[in-house]
Amino acid sequence: MLLVADKVSPLILEALAHAAAEAHGTPLLSSKNESGLFPNTTAGKVAAKKCLDERWLSVVRSPKPARELYLATATGLEYLLAEQQPKQVLEDFLRVLEDRQRELAELRTTTARMADGIESLRGIIARVLPQVTAAKLVPAMAGGGDSWEPESDLNEEIAGKLAEWAETPTGITRDCPLPELYRSLNEAPTLGAFHDALRSLHSEGRVYLHPWTGPLYAMPEPAWALLVGHEIAYYASLR
pLDDT digits (tens, 9 = 90+) for 152-203: 478 888 988 888 887 766 556 678 899 999 988 887 788 888 888 898 888 8
What's the rounded Cα separation, in Å, for the pair 173 and 177? 13
- On the question of pLDDT at 51 being above 90, the answer is yes
CB 72 within 8 A of CB 19: yes
Residue 169 DSSP SS3: coil
What's the rounded Cα separation, in Å, for the pair 177 and 181? 6
151-239 shares the fold of 2-84: yes
pLDDT band, residue 3 (cuts 50/70/90): very low
Q: Does domain 2-84 have CATH number 3.40.50.1100?
A: no
DSSP annotation string for 31-48: -SS---SB-SSHHHHHHH
Q: What is the pTM of this model?
A: 0.40
**Mode of pairing for the β-strands spanning 231-238 and 207-211:** antiparallel
CB 212 within 8 A of CB 234: yes
Q: Does domain 151-239 have CATH number 1.10.287?
A: no
What's the rounded Cα separation, in Å, for the pair 210 and 203? 14
- On the question of pLDDT at 139 being above 50, the answer is no
Domain borders along the chain are 2-84, 151-239
| The pLDDT of residue 6 | 66
DSSP state of 219: -
Integer angstrom CA distances of residue 180 from 68, 118, 165, 176, 236: 20, 23, 10, 7, 10
- On the question of pLDDT at 137 being above 60, the answer is no
